[in-house]
Structure 1
Amino acid sequence: MPAILIVEDEQNLRLLYRRELEEEGYRVIEAANAEDGIRAFEESHPDLVVMDIRMPGMNGLEAMARVLDRDRRVPIVLNTAYDSYRDDFTSWAADAYVTKSSDTSELKRTIRRLLEERTHLGPPEM
């Protein structure tokens, strides 16, 4: 069962994503901020990370860079309500960019696609 780390400061969205992704058969790890997300990544070595960008403290782009320093092959989905980050070159390091919505179908499709692509690449580098 693939593990997905959700780094999201909005509790209601974390709960929604957890419920939706567990129904899809994923194991979900949650973090409420970027610092906790980096710690959770180091402890659990998830198969994919869904990262909010705008969070209190460290933002998701900086957290993404730190995660990628640890494992360059882990797929990262940036998930934000602010479409303007698509033009920020820092966000280009992510594998996908999904605008937040209560309809999780795009997020679930993106996760499924990235995990399928990853299985063709072999085990992650640690």
Structure 2
Amino acid sequence: MKKILLVDDEESIQLLYHEEFVDDGYTVISAMNGEEALEKFQSDKPDLVILDIQMPGMNGIEVLRQMKMIDAATPVILSSAYHEYKQDLGAWASDEYVVKSADIDDLKKAVKRLIG
């Protein structure tokens, strides 16, 4: 079973994504901030990361940079409510960029493309 690390500081997003991806047959590990995400990235070795950008403390672009230094092969999907981050050079290191929405079909398609 493929393992997804879900990093988002919003509980409602955590619950929605967790439920949807578990229903699709994935194991989902959650983190509420960048520091916790980096710990779980190293200890749990996920197959894919869904990463929010705007979080308290370390933002998602910095977390992405550190994750890619640890393991460049693990795909990371940046998920943000804001389109403008797509132009940030730091975001280009991600494998996909998906704008958050109540309809998570685009996110699900990106996950399926990257890890099946």
CA distance, structure 2, for counterparts of residue 56 and residue 29 of structure 1: 19
Secondary structure, counterpart of 1:29 in structure 2? strand
CA-CA distance at 1:55 after TM superposition:
0.3
Question: Deviation of residue 102 (structure 1)?
Answer: 1.1
Partner of 2:76: 76
Q: Following the alignment from structure 1 to structure 2, what is the Cα–Cα distance between the partners of residues 57 and 82?
A: 18
Paired position in structure 1 for 2:91: 91
TM-score (norm 2): 0.98
1:40 aligns with 2:18: no
In the alignment, does 2:45 pair up with 1:66? no
Normalising by structure 1, what TM-score? 0.91
RMSD of Structure 2 on Structure 1 (CA)? 0.6
Q: Which amino acid aligns with 2:5?
A: L
Residue aligning to 2:7: 7
Deviations 1:6-45 (A, max 9, x none): 0000011001000000010000000000110001111100
Q: Aligned equivalents of 1:22 and 1:103: distance in 2? A: 16
Q: What letter corresponds to residue 48 of structure 1 in structure 2?
A: L
User: In the alignment, what sits opposite 1:28?
Assistant: 28
What is the one-letter code of the residue matched to 1:19? Answer: E
Deviation at 1:81, TM superposition (A): 0.3
2:42 paired with 1:50: no
Distance 1:65 1:17 in 2: 23
User: Identity percentage over the alignment?
Assistant: 43
Hey, what does 1:112 align to over in structure 2? 112
Amino acid at match of 2:6: I
Structure 2 Cα separation of the partners of residues 102 and 19 of structure 1: 13
Counterpart residue identity of residue 29, structure 1: I
Residue 59 of structure 1 and its aligned partner are, at CA, apart by 0.1
Where do 5+ consecutive residues of structure 1 fail to align? 117-126
For 1:69 and 1:108, the matched residues in 2 are separated by 26
Question: How many pairs does the alignment contain?
Answer: 116
- Give the secondary-structure state (helix, strand or coil) at the position aligned to 2:4: strand
Q: Distance in 2 between matches of 1:25 and 1:62?
A: 29
Q: Deviations over 1:37-67 (max 9, x none)?
A: 0011111000000000000000000001111
